[in-house]
Amino acid sequence: MIKRTPLTALLLILILLVSPERPFAAGPERMRRVTPEIVNQEIVVTAELVDGFNREIVNDIQDGIPKDFYYYLLLKRKQKNWFDEEVLAKTIRYTVKYDTLKKKYTIVQRDGEQVVENTVDDIETMKRIVSKIDHVKLAPISFLKSRNRYYVSIKSQMKAAKLPFYVDYFLFFIPFLEIDTPWADSDILSINRGG
């Protein structure tokens, strides 16, 4: 006979919370078309998230639960016989909130100090905006040395809604992610500049 203890009860609660029905782990979501370019002496990046909205995420958003989508960008320098060097890192964050009374989606994009807010009427437009980063400035071209080879790595995460304090406090070690894509690398960034 198994002895019932508070530890056994906590273990059962954890097993129920981390059931396979919730998509916390990496799933079919992937980054594609990761394209770095040099435009007006700046390194800019474009990329696309594929299948980033499952039914549960859409239902949560339409129930008025805000969602945060993060894009993590790394500029890397290729090195022979060693790990590639991270030259620069940047995070782009989209916050999506649905106003259930006005039937509108508000999308706030944060890129460092720059904040851009859009309001759209339909879910397909919202998905299209949030699923893509388009010509995001990563760094000035001065970060690149002409004899080196560079590329961009990118991944996306969407974090679940903020948990109540008492649950967050006891379960701080469980990653509550609804999207967590693997890193995707671009082709080598070509440097076309004089000097």
- Domain layout of the chain by residue ranges: 23-185
Which region holds residue 41: left if phi is over 0, alpha if psi is between -120 and 50, else beta? left
Of 20-34, 105-119, 128-142, 180-194, which range is least confident? 20-34
9, 13, 19, 24: CA torsion to nearest 10:
-140
The pLDDT assigned to 145 comes to 87
The pLDDT assigned to 12 comes to 52
Structure-token pair, residue 170 = 């006891």
Within 13 Å of residue 43, how many CA atoms lie on the same side as its CB?
A: 27
Angstrom distance (rounded) from CA 106 to CA 94: 10
If you write DSSP's letter for every residue of 35-96 in order, what string do you get? EEEEETTEEEEEEEEES---HHHHHHHHTT--EEEEEEEEEEE--TTSPPEEEEEEEEEEEE
The pLDDT assigned to 181 comes to 87
Question: At residue 98, what is the residue type?
Answer: Y
If you write DSSP's letter for every residue of 100-148 in order, what string do you get? TTTTEEEEEEEETTEEEEEEESSHHHHHHHHTEEEEEEEEEGGG--TTS
Bridge partners, 98 (sequence order): 105
Residue 18: which pLDDT band, with cuts at 50, 70 and 90? Answer: very low
Q: What 8-state DSSP symbol labels residue 20?
A: T
Minimal CA–CA distance to 142: which of 41, 74, 9?
41
Contact (Cβ atoms closer than 8 angstroms) between residue 76 and residue 152 = yes
For 162, list phi and psi in degrees, rounded to 5. -60, 130
Structure-token pair, residue 96 = 């999506």
Question: Is residue 193's pLDDT more than 90?
Answer: no
Q: What is the pTM of this model?
A: 0.74
- Average pLDDT for 8-30: 49
